[in-house]
Structures are given as structure tokens and as C-alpha cells.
């Protein structure tokens, strides 16, 4: 059963404990907020992922089954498909 | 042409009268005579006699939401109908500054909106209906008068509460609106739980744009085939568009999906660019826009979407970067400040755009803008950062020549008067008000 | 030392240790909300230590309570451990301890079940921690004379001072925190101010090439280096944060 990490960006205050405990999946942006690698948590990292979830002082991180996550993701993106293909490329 | 009703239709609707031709929602001259005139022009309010029966018709019609999300209405109805003690909300908050279609409907066709609200309530089995309007939207008493007429006639089966949305760009966002209706601060919320599972008062809530409710009210009368008689196969029906011409005139127009943009916007004059989809939409070059149609099938490959139907032509003699920078500033101030990436990204992007639109921007600004855009999009609880980034990125592409000129210290229209309507800065709203 | 006296000493000793641990837990809890770090330790250690020390405090609390009840020197009774004012011996002071124990149980149990009860409920209960510590201190001061004289008096004074200082920091941060509605405006003002280019001053003295001098002056007076590739603003502007607990 594959598990996926999901972040609640409203709850997240950028403590950064998660990125320390699970650096293979979570890194921090230049403002200290987590960037989650997409896709399921690798099987061997499940225990550490659970630790990261428990360690979050803001309870912003959750781990759920892939099916539930697809439901949540659909919720998040149900209102639009992002039509912009990619970053703007400009000549200097 | 007589439209036959689908199998299992309600008794009494064996042969439907033909539905109105375009324009369907806002015919010239309106449908005067108050409630009586409305019912005389369109026929009686066709209650189906129980929850769920309308949903099949709506599914067959292919109606999608007209609030910008284009979500299939039948699916939303079915999801909410499955819940206990649902609530229906008509979303007339219209917090997009360039959009005026919802205000036009509430002013000129309130009974059509209220019909749709009652039919939607019946379809999901709701006993409570709320109509949310822009702050100050009760002015003129049109809505309260219309409700009084319906109450006197005993037409409404579900009592309708009128509510004012908060001020601000995100007031009409689904979860923000629900928060305000629940007496909260009117800020977007992280989902799940979806509002269709937990919304007003914790009950499953259907939120539909008021234009969507109007289409619903007409589909209930004239059927799915009538609705599909205009538009395209994958995007049937018509939609309202708020069109801003290059000379500054603006009008709300109804058009079939698939109508060429050149038939809605006068692109013959000196138009340099077109904004499609409002402030969460995308800039397109005028020549590019001339070949596109008002449909997602046509617009998505070009990087835009129909959204809530806002089309604005930017005339020559304006600086597209300056316009974008002004709007980006407004969008940055509109952030609810709840999510780190949005709170950090949008102000930086706005300040960077202001620098880019000014004289002698640093050469690093564009790279910073792209980096911040990447870090901001898709990382909030709502789609405000995504929409803002889409808008900004499209500007950097569409106004690439202008950007290069600014980097060299020139501007094609220095000191030009602002064109796009951007609301004045206000102190933050205190929260939801009824 | 008889067994009875041993129980009495054990109760008092574990009580003092429990109070010390709870002091550390409160200080660490406030450090977490400030997103502070302990020197040399990773970020997760602050919250981890806060959690582990609180569980250790529970352990000491249990021993403290059990030994106090079993001790024949004073009559307290099991009921009085959770019900205030039910103790024949010093009902008020022991009662404060009972309230503190109830609060501690609520805090620890809700924290252990955090994921299940949800953020809002957990946070609401966790505010009680600010009531728990003063109650524990009052109970300690009143239940026995230990903390009212000698080195233990200094110790309890030090604990009180530390908690008061941490609380002051916490309250100051709360007072200075911008409410969410105003955060975007504050951030925008900050970045606009940082991005604003200074007005170029007129050069003095002989000038070889006007444009070169103007450009150099602007880059120096700007306060940031204009060399491409350096994101000079990253250092001067801070990072916008959520308000913590």
C-alpha cells in the first residue's frame, strides 16, 4: 500500500523539522517552507516519514494512502487545470 | 421546434415550448413586469417534485460552472445530494474587478437567479438557501423586492437568506465564502474537507455561481437539447462575457461557447494585447487572440482559459508591464497571508514587476521573477498564487519586447494613464458580515 | 532511614524533579513557537526534547503521587490526587496539585492523540500549559516547606524567573505579530522599499564620462551590489512567517 505525504500550507509555519527528518523527500525553499517530492513515499522511508509527521509542531504534515490522496489532490485541482505550459523563456 | 422531454419526465411537461434564442439570460429590454412578467415570458417554475430528478437533465446538458472553474454541475449536484441536510449557496460575490456579469444578472434577471436557486435546492434536497452578493449588492432593493414578490406568490419552497460577501479579491473563493457565511474571517481554507462535504454550518454545501443557476433554471424549463443547441460539442451552451474594448467601453455580452474572440472584441484598431480570464487569466498577443475562440478547447493550448468570461483589450500606447505591475500589486495585497509561499512570493513578485516596469531595472529581476513564480505556484491552500503566477508569466511572454526595452532603459509608453481597473487600496476587511 | 521516611523523601524529591522538568518543558515549548534552536542540535530536537521531557515529567509525577499516597506520615487518599480539596492534609495546596495533575493528563493525552483529534482541538487544550506551570509551582511551594528555604528556594526562584522571561518573550512576539489580514500589505511594503532605486545625485568635481560615473554612484549608493547573479536582497529582507503558538 503506497503512502503519500500531504502538507497543509495554512498550518505550516516553516519550522523545518520535517526536512531534517526526511531529507530524501522533503527539502526547504529559500523561505524555509517545505517542498515535497511528488509521488509515494519510498517503502524503506515509511518509518522516518511517520516520525516526520509526528515531529511537526504545527501538525501540518500528514501521511495518507495513495487513494485518499488522489481524492484530495482532485479537490485541490478540481477548479482548474493550469493552462500555462511552463516558465516564461525570454531572450536577454 | 418542439423539444421532446427525456424519458421519465415529470407529468405535465410532455411537450416543452421552444427555449429562447440567444441572448438567453439577458435579452435586450429584459423581461419586464417583475415576477409576473418573468413567468409570462419563460413559463412556470418547473419543480420536479423531489430531490435528484433534475440532475439527469443537467448531466445531459453538459452544463459546467460559470464562476471560472468550469466544474461539471451535475457532478457537484450529485455529490451534495448524497449528503445530509445540505445547503445551497448562490455565489454572486463577483470579486473579480473586471467582471460585471453577476451584477448584471442580479440587477436585470433576479427571478432567473432565484428560480435556479430553488431548483438547485430541490435537486439536492436542501432546506436552506443563501444568496451571497458583492458588498453593497442590496442597493436599490431589487433583490429584496424580488424575494418579497415570490414570497407573496408562494413560489419559493425554500426560504432564501441574503448575505453580503466580504470585500477583497478572494471573497468569492468557495471556501472563503463559506468561512464568511459561517461567521468566520472569510479566508480561504485548506481542503479537504470539501465544502460539498462540510460547508455552511458543517453541512454539505452546494456553491454555484449565479449565472450557472440561471442556466439551470432554463434547462429545467426547456431541456438539455435546447441548452446544447448552441456552443460546441464538448463545451455546450452559452456564457456571459464581460468585454472591455480598447476605447474603454465595457459591456456584458452573452455568447455561445466557441464564438471567435474577434467577434466579441474589436481587434481591428490599435490593440496590442488581450487579457483573457481576468486577473487570474493570461495575456495574449492581439494577433494570437484574433485566431482564438471563447472556449477552453481553443484557449488552453494558447495558455489561457475562458474562466468567468472576462476579456480585455489593451490598446497601443499603454505599457503592458506597468498594467501588469499594478494588477500584481493588487493581487499581492489580496493574499490572505496564511500560506508561506504565497505570503513570501506574491509581494516579491509584485515588487519585482514594479521594478521591471520602472526605469533601469536590475538585470537580475527577470530571473528572480521566474524563480519566485516557480516557488509560489501550486503551494497555497487556494489557487490565488497559481492564478497570479499564470497572469504574471503570460505578461512576461506577451510583453517580451517591452521587457527588453525596459532593460535598455526605454519604455514604449512612459507615464501612460492606467487602463485596467484596479480597486483602490483598502484597509483589510474585518471579516464576514451578513 | 525507615521505609516510611524513604517514601516521604521520595515524594518530595520526585516532586522537585518534576517541577524542574516541567520548567524545561515550558521553556522548550516557547522555544518551539519562536522557531528557535538549541545550539548544536537539529531543529527537530527542540520539539523532540519538549515531548520527551514532558513524558519523563509524567513518569516522575506518577512516582511523586504514588509515594505521597502510600506514605503513612500524611493522609491524602487516592481521590485527592485528581479531585481538588478532597485531601485531609493541606487540602488547598494538595488540591492545586490535583488540578495540575488533571491539566497534565489532558495535555499529555491530547498530545499523544494529536493526529486523531485534529489541530484545532489539540491547540485549544494545549493553551492550558500556561496554567499548568504556575499551579504546579504554587502546589510545590505550599505543600511542603522544602522550596521555601535554602538552595531549593533559589532553584524555584530561578525556574520562576526563567518561565517569566520566556513568557515575556512569547507575549511580546504575540503583540508584535501582524494579524493575517495585514501580513500581505506589510510584506509588500517591505519589498517595495527594498526594491526602490535611489535618486541619482549630481556628481561633484571634474567628470570624465558622465554616464559611467552616474552608473557607478547608483550601484554604490543603492546599498546593494548590482552585479548580476547576486541576490542581494536575500540578506537584507527577512522571511515572512506564520505567527506561532
B337-373 pLDDT, tens per residue? 999 999 999 999 999 999 999 888 998 999 999 999 9
> Which of B228, B263, B281 finishes a domain?
B228
Domain ranges of chain C: 3-176, 180-236
DSSP at B281: S
Number of domains in chain B: 3
Check: CB of residue A3 under 8 Å from CB of residue A53.
Answer: no
**Which residues of chain B are within 8 Å of residue C240 when distances are taken between CB atoms?**
340, 343-344, 347
Q: What is the pLDDT of residue A74?
A: 53
Residue B77 shares a structural domain with residue B206: yes
**Which residues of chain A are within 8 Å of residue C234 when distances are taken between CB atoms?**
30
| Cross-chain CB nearest to C43 (options A16, A30, A62) | A16
Residue owning grid cell 495575456: B283
Q: Is B345 left (phi over 0), alpha (psi -120 to 50) or beta?
A: alpha
Look at residue B412 and tell me if it is in a domain. Answer: no
Q: What is the pLDDT of residue C105?
A: 96
Residue B12 shares a structural domain with residue B59: yes
Q: CATH number for the domain including B280?
A: 3.10.20.600
Number of domains in chain A: 1
Residue B289 shares a structural domain with residue B202: no
Q: Do A9 and B340 touch (CB under 8 A)?
A: yes
Q: Is A29 left (phi over 0), alpha (psi -120 to 50) or beta?
A: beta
> Which of B269, B287, B315 finishes a domain?
B315
Q: Do B344 and C239 touch (CB under 8 A)?
A: yes
Please give the residue range of the domain that contains residue A9: 3-68
- Using CA atoms, how far apart are residues B302 and B288, in angstroms rounded to an integer? 8
The nearest CA of chain A is from the CA of B397 a distance in Å of 6
Residue B265 shares a structural domain with residue B365: no
pLDDT at C227 over 50: no
Q: CATH number for the domain including B399?
A: 1.20.1440.230
Residue B402 shares a structural domain with residue B284: no
Look at residue A89 and tell me if it is in a domain. Answer: no
Look at residue B414 and tell me if it is in a domain. Answer: no
The complex scores an ipTM of 0.87
**Which residues of chain C are within 8 Å of residue B360 when distances are taken between CB atoms?**
197, 218
Residue B256 shares a structural domain with residue B350: no
Q: What is the pLDDT of residue C180?
A: 83
Q: Which three cell numbers stand for residue B61?
A: 446538458
pLDDT at C9 over 70: yes
Q: What is the pLDDT of residue B26?
A: 93
- Using CA atoms, how far apart are residues C189 and C195, in angstroms rounded to an integer? 10
Q: Do B304 and A8 touch (CB under 8 A)?
A: no
pLDDT at C230 over 50: no
**Which residues of chain A are within 8 Å of residue C44 when distances are taken between CB atoms?**
17, 20-21, 55
Look at residue A90 and tell me if it is in a domain. Answer: no
Neighbours of chain B (3+ CB pairs under 8 A): A, C
| Cross-chain CB nearest to A13 (options C47, C122, C244) | C244
Residue B157 shares a structural domain with residue B181: yes
Look at residue B266 and tell me if it is in a domain. Answer: yes
Look at residue B373 and tell me if it is in a domain. Answer: yes
Residue B300 shares a structural domain with residue B162: no
Q: Do A9 and B339 touch (CB under 8 A)?
A: yes
**Which residues of chain C are within 8 Å of residue B346 when distances are taken between CB atoms?**
184
Q: Do C122 and A32 touch (CB under 8 A)?
A: no
- pLDDT band for position C41 (cuts 50, 70, 90): very high
Look at residue A91 and tell me if it is in a domain. Answer: no
Q: CATH number for the domain including B42?
A: 3.40.50.11540
Look at residue A74 and tell me if it is in a domain. Answer: no
Straight-line distance from the first to the last Cα atom of chain C, in angstroms, rounded to the nearest whole number: 47
The nearest CA of chain B is from the CA of A8 a distance in Å of 7
Please give the residue range of the domain that contains residue B89: 3-228
Residue B260 CB contacts under 8 Å (≥ 6 apart), including other chains = B292, B293, B294
Q: CATH number for the domain including A49?
A: 3.30.70.20
Q: Which three cell numbers stand for residue B8?
A: 421519465
pLDDT winner (highest mean) among A52-61, B22-31, C218-227:
A52-61
CATH topology of domain C3-176: 1.20.120
Residue C143 φ then ψ, to 5°: -75, -30
> Which of B206, B228, B250 finishes a domain?
B228
Residue B215 shares a structural domain with residue B247: no
Residue B66 shares a structural domain with residue B191: yes
**pLDDT per residue as tens digits for the range B113-142:** 999 999 999 999 999 999 999 988 776 788
**pLDDT per residue as tens digits for the range B232-250:** 999 999 999 999 999 989 9
Please check whether residue C55 touches B, CB under 8 A.
no
Look at residue B413 and tell me if it is in a domain. Answer: no
Please check whether residue A82 touches B, CB under 8 A.
yes
Amino acid at each position: 500500500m503506497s503512502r503519500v505525504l500531504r502538507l497543509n500550507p495554512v498550518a505550516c509555519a516553516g519550522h523545518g523539522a520535517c526536512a531534517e527528518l526526511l531529507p530524501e523527500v522533503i527539502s526547504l525553499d529559500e523561505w524555509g517552507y517545505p517542498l515535497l517530492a511528488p509521488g509515494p513515499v519510498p517503502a524503506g522511508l515509511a518509518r522516518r516519514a511517520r516520525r516526520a509527521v509526528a515531529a511537526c509542531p504545527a501538525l501540518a504534515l500528514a501521511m495518507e494512502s495513495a487513494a485518499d490522496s488522489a481524492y484530495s489532490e482532485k479537490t485541490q485541482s478540481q477548479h482548474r487545470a493550469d493552462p500555462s505550459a511552463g516558465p516564461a523563456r525570454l531572450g536577454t | 421546434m418542439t423539444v421532446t422531454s427525456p424519458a421519465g419526465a415529470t407529468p405535465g411537461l410532455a411537450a416543452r415550448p421552444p427555449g429562447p434564442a440567444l441572448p438567453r439570460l439577458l435579452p435586450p429590454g429584459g423581461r419586464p413586469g417583475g415576477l409576473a412578467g418573468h413567468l409570462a415570458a419563460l413559463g412556470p417554475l418547473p419543480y420536479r417534485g423531489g430531490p435528484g430528478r433534475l440532475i439527469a437533465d443537467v448531466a445531459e446538458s453538459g452544463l459546467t460552472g460559470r464562476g471560472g472553474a468550469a466544474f461539471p454541475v451535475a457532478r457537484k449536484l450529485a455529490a451534495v445530494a448524497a449528503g445530509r441536510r445540505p445547503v445551497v449557496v448562490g455565489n454572486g460575490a463577483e470579486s473579480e474587478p473586471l467582471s460585471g456579469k453577476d451584477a448584471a444578472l442580479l440587477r436585470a434577471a433576479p427571478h432567473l437567479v432565484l428560480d435556479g436557486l430553488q431548483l438547485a435546492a430541490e435537486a439536492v434536497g436542501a432546506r436552506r438557501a443563501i444568496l451571497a452578493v458583492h458588498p453593497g449588492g442590496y442597493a436599490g432593493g431589487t433583490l429584496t423586492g424580488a424575494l418579497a414578490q415570490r414570497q407573496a406568490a408562494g413560489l419559493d419552497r425554500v426560504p432564501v437568506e441574503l448575505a453580503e460577501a466580504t470585500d477583497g479579491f478572494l471573497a468569492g473563493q468557495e471556501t472563503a465564502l463559506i468561512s464568511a457565511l459561517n461567521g468566520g474571517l472569510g479566508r480561504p481554507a485548506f481542503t479537504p474537507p470539501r465544502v460539498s462535504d462540510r460547508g455552511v454550518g458543517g453541512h454539505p454545501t452546494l456553491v454555484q455561481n449565479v449565472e450557472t443557476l440561471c442556466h439551470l433554471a432554463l434547462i429545467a424549463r426547456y431541456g438539455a437539447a435546447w441548452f446544447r443547441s448552441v456552443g460546441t460539442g464538448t463545451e455546450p451552451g452559452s456564457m456571459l462575457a464581460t468585454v472591455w474594448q480598447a476605447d474603454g467601453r465595457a459591456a456584458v455580452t452573452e455568447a455561445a461557447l466557441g464564438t471567435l474572440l474577434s467577434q466579441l472584441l474589436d481587434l481591428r484598431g490599435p490593440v496590442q494585447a488581450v487579457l483573457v480570464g481576468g486577473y487570474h487569466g493570461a495575456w495574449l498577443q492581439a494577433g494570437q487572440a484574433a485566431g482564438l475562440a471563447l472556449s477552453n478547447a481553443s484557449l488552453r493550448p494558447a495558455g489561457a482559459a475562458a474562466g468567468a468570461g472576462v476579456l480585455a483589450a489593451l490598446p497601443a500606447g499603454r505599457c503592458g508591464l506597468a498594467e501588469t505591475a499594478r494588477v500584481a500589486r493588487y493581487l499581492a495585497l489580496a493574499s490572505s497571508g496564511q500560506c508561506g509561499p504565497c505570503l513570501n512570493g506574491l509581494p516579491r513578485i509584485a515588487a519585482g514587476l514594479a521594478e521591471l516596469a520602472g526605469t533601469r531595472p536590475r538585470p537580475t529581476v527577470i530571473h528572480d521573477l521566474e524563480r519566485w513564480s516557480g516557488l509560489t505556484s501550486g503551494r497555497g491552500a487556494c489557487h490565488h498564487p497559481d492564478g497570479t503566477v499564470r497572469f504574471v508569466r503570460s505578461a512576461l511572454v506577451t510583453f517580451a519586447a517591452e521587457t527588453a526595452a525596459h532593460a535598455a532603459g526605454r519604455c514604449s509608453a512612459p507615464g501612460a494613464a492606467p487602463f485596467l481597473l484596479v480597486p483602490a487600496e483598502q484597509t483589510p476587511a474585518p471579516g464576514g458580515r451578513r | 532511614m525507615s521505609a516510611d521516611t524513604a517514601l516521604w523523601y521520595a515524594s518530595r524529591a520526585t516532586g522537585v524533579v518534576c517541577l524542574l522538568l516541567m520548567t524545561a518543558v515550558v521553556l522548550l515549548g516557547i522555544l518551539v513557537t519562536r522557531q528557535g534552536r538549541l545550539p548544536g542540535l537539529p531543529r527537530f530536537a527542540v520539539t523532540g526534547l519538549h515531548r520527551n521531557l514532558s513524558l519523563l515529567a509524567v513518569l516522575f509525577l506518577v512516582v511523586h503521587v504514588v509515594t505521597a499516597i502510600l506514605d503513612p506520615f500524611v493522609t491524602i487518599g487516592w481521590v485527592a490526587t485528581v479531585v481538588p480539596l478532597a485531601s485531609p492534609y493541606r487540602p488547598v495546596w494538595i488540591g492545586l496539585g490535583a488540578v495540575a495533575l488533571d491539566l497534565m493528563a489532558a495535555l499529555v493525552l491530547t498530545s499523544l492523540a494529536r493526529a486523531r483529534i485534529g489541530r484545532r482541538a489539540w491547540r485549544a487544550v494545549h493553551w492550558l500549559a500556561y496554567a499548568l506551570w504556575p499551579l504546579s509551582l504554587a502546589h510545590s511551594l505550599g505543600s511542603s516547606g522544602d522550596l521555601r528555604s535554602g538552595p531549593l528556594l533559589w532553584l524555584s526562584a530561578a525556574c520562576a524567573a526563567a518561565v517569566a522571561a520566556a513568557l515575556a518573550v512569547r507575549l511580546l512576539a504575540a503583540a508584535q505579530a501582524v494579524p493575517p489580514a495585514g501580513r500581505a500589505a506589510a510584506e509588500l511594503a517591505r519589498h517595495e522599499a527594498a526594491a526602490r532605486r535611489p535618486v541619482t545625485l549630481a556628481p561633484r568635481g571634474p567628470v570624465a564620462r558622465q554616464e559611467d560615473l552616474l552608473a557607478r554612484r547608483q550601484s554604490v549608493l543603492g546599498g546593494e551590489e548590482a552585479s548580476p547573479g547576486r541576490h542581494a536582497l536575500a540578506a537584507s529582507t527577512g522571511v515572512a512567517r506564520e505567527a506561532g503558538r
